[in-house]
Structure 1
Amino acid sequence: MVFEAVEALLTEHADLERRLADPAIHADQATARKVGRRYAELQRVVAAYGTWRQLNDDLEAARELAGEDAGFAEEAERLSAQHADAEERLRLLLLPRDPLADKNVLLEIKAGEGGAESALFAGDLLRMYDRYAERRGWRTETLEVAESELGGIKSVTLAVKGKGGGATGGELDETPYSRLRFEGGVHRVQRVPVTESQGRIHTSAAGVLVLPEAEDIDVDIAEKDLRIDVFRSSGPGGQSVNTTDSAVRITHVPTGIVVSCQNEKSQLQNREQALRILRARLLAIAQEQADAETAAARRSQVRTVDRSERVRTYNFPQNRITDHRVGFTAYNLDQVLDGELDPVIGALVEADQAERLAALENQPG
């Protein structure tokens, strides 16, 4: 059992409690918020450790009594099961915490190989994530979308916002990032397209990129580093949908990142939307540079939207969904596309936790 880290975390928790009790810290709201978040994280560890320790004491007492009176054996068995559950929860809470765990996310969905069918599938993915967010009580906001001629989507950026506090505890507190971070990659679809006259099954692909949404305090963007251009919005086929220069294109000169937004009628609104996307991309880059694991995870998302580089397959003829990373397969594709994504994501969460727990257990010392 790896509990060596508990003592250090209990000490850190007590230190943060003293800092938060000092009125001086609240003069700097950014610092106070950061300390408060860390204190809340550690509060879960403190509570879980207290529960585990109490159950440990109760279990020892029950086993001692059961040795003298067999009537206490059932109570000892019940406490043993509770103790095991408490131990597992504490082990999960001791895993290194993802610094982005509390973030909302931006989902970028792009049509790939497959032409019009790929764009239609990208639209299906957008609806799936919209419905999944609705089921979890999260809010969604479409920041930018480019539609195709047949009603599909060439590309879309969807913001997903919500609070944590879910049942799993630990790092995975049911925040948008904690769940949707596993969605990055190439999603492949196999079905008969609406444009297919002979009933043949086609394979197409769409790419999903997951970006943690940055706050102002996360990324400092200097105005001098931005080149901002305005132009007239246009819709599918190039027709004008706006007679004023309301669309905005922002270029971040140091990195070369370009973001365009034209969904809103106001130039100011489009500028704010573009800045949100830019901040998220810059945060992802900064995190890559600071954390090799994050860099590897991001590279594993979408390199090219090629059908062969898939993380998941949606097979319509068999109503089957398969996640190739963990070997998850289910025959309820219709329900998944209606937003019932939790079983799929849950399998990815469990595999990720098991891998990191094994790494923690195998650390020297």
Structure 2
Amino acid sequence: MYDAVKPLLDEHSEVEAALADPAVHGDPVAARRLARRYAQLGAVVTAHDAWRQAHEDHATARELAPHDVGLREELPGLEQAEQQAADRLQLLLVPRDPDDARDAIVEVRAGEGGTESALFAGELVRMYTRWAERRGWRAEVIDAALGDLGGVKSATLAVQAPEGAYGLLRLEGGVHRVQRVPVTESAGRVHTSAVGVLVHPEADDVDVEVDPGDLRVDVFRSSGPGGQSVNTTDSAVRITHLPTGTVATCQNEKSQLQNREQAMRILRARLLAAARAEADADAARVRAAQVRTVDRSERVRTYNFGENRIVDHRSGYKAYNLDAVLDGDLDPVLDSLVRLRTEEQLSAQQDQA
């Protein structure tokens, strides 16, 4: 175990020393990358220290047990604690996508179901925001197009975390299906609607080189509720990357400059995701497994309001606490997906060996 961990422990010390150098912080992009890597390696260091302590406690107890009845009784518990600590460490040693330590751009789009889909899309935006708040992360809605009767037709969130938000939120990519009686349904019939979720790693400025000459910037008047300068002036911005046809818009901010900055964040994230997908077959598979069409049949998860039930169709997770999940209690669902992903990665490693 130690042989596998040692390179990471050494790297943790090197990154820690680099972060202590004031010169590093003269380059904000490099400093952010180091900080993300330090947080990622810190989890390995903590797990290794816990395993080492559990291993030493178990070894000491085995040595003294022949002369101590009390220690003999504690041996099974100490052995179990050592095994649990080893399992936690082993999980962290599974190779991770470097992008997992990045912040995330989350796009939520209403699909089949019209008004009902837009209403549920708004509830998903709230769910991700509440979940991030529970973890002490920062979640910011950087663009939203409101539905006619409430909710959102589309919304884009930026989620920031010290250890990176993308590693977990990438598991949310796909079609989310909702089953309930819409507020507009007079006969009380259950309708099925769909909402699409796309998740990209947020790009640093240097990750994607964007030639200003390749951009077309259009301005227009914001739609939806507004106040002074929001939907009374041409402050909304649409940026088109001409070589790829990629488009990003933002209309939430009051000034055209602010909207342009936010639209560029979205555009860079989309361009980075597209570049990775083109260069990496695994990334292409991940994107394909997210939202191809926002169709009810291509769902990754179902939310049944009548039964207060949530089901993830990938991990098989099922619970009857939908109200709590929509209020941000998303960790148990994500834990089931992390376990599934880890099992698949371990199985692939064993097959290669």
- Given the alignment, which residue of 293, 296, 299 partners 2:285? 296
User: Do 2:203 and 2:265's aligned partners in 1 also have CA atoms closer than 8 Å?
Assistant: yes
**For 1:222 and 1:108, how far apart are their aligned partners in 2?**
25
Supply the AA of the counterpart residue of 2:294.
Answer: V
State which drifts further: 266-275 or 282-291: 282-291
Describe how 1:73-84 pairs up with structure 2 within 5 A.
73-84=72-83
Query: What does residue 169 of structure 1 align with?
Result: none
Could you state the TM-score of these two structures normalised by the residue count of structure 2?
A: 0.88
Aligned pair 1:212/2:196, yes or no?
A: no
State which drifts further: 83-92 or 210-219: 210-219
Query: What does residue 168 of structure 1 align with?
Result: none
User: Do 1:235 and 1:241's aligned partners in 2 also have CA atoms closer than 8 Å?
Assistant: no
Query: What does residue 357 of structure 1 align with?
Result: 346
Aligned pair 1:156/2:155, yes or no?
A: yes
Q: What is the total number of aligned residue pairs between the two structures?
A: 350
Query: What does residue 183 of structure 1 align with?
Result: 172
In structure 1, runs of 5+ residues without a counterpart are 165-174
**1:251-289 CA distance string (max 9 Å, x none):** 112221011222222110110111010011112123323
4+ aligned runs moved over 6 Å, structure 1: 17-27
Aligned pair 1:227/2:216, yes or no?
A: yes
Deviation at 1:7, TM superposition (A): 4.2
Supply the AA of the counterpart residue of 1:299.
Answer: A
Are the structure 2 counterparts of residues 144 and 308 from structure 1 closer, same or farther at C-alpha, using a change threshold of 3 Å? same
**For 1:44 and 1:21, how far apart are their aligned partners in 2?**
19
Query: What does residue 128 of structure 2 align with?
Result: 129
Deviation at 1:249, TM superposition (A): 1.3
Aligned pair 1:250/2:239, yes or no?
A: yes
**For 1:283 and 1:38, how far apart are their aligned partners in 2?**
19
Aligned pair 1:340/2:324, yes or no?
A: no
State which drifts further: 333-342 or 217-226: 217-226
Supply the AA of the counterpart residue of 2:239.
Answer: I
User: Do 1:226 and 1:250's aligned partners in 2 also have CA atoms closer than 8 Å?
Assistant: yes
Q: Secondary structure at the match of 2:95?
A: coil
Deviation at 1:36, TM superposition (A): 5.5
**1:66-116 CA distance string (max 9 Å, x none):** 245544312433331221122112201211122122222221111111122
Are the structure 2 counterparts of residues 43 and 330 from structure 1 closer, same or farther at C-alpha, using a change threshold of 3 Å? closer
Are the structure 2 counterparts of residues 37 and 313 from structure 1 closer, same or farther at C-alpha, using a change threshold of 3 Å? closer
CA RMSD of aligned residues (A): 2.7
Q: Secondary structure at the match of 1:88?
A: helix
Deviation at 1:160, TM superposition (A): 2.0
Could you state the TM-score of these two structures normalised by the residue count of structure 1?
A: 0.85
Query: What does residue 62 of structure 2 align with?
Result: 63
Query: What does residue 172 of structure 1 align with?
Result: none
Q: Sequence identity, in percent?
A: 62
Are the structure 2 counterparts of residues 50 and 122 from structure 1 closer, same or farther at C-alpha, using a change threshold of 3 Å? closer
In structure 2, runs of 5+ residues without a counterpart are none
**For 2:131 and 2:138, how far apart are their aligned partners in 1?**
10
Query: What does residue 306 of structure 1 align with?
Result: 295
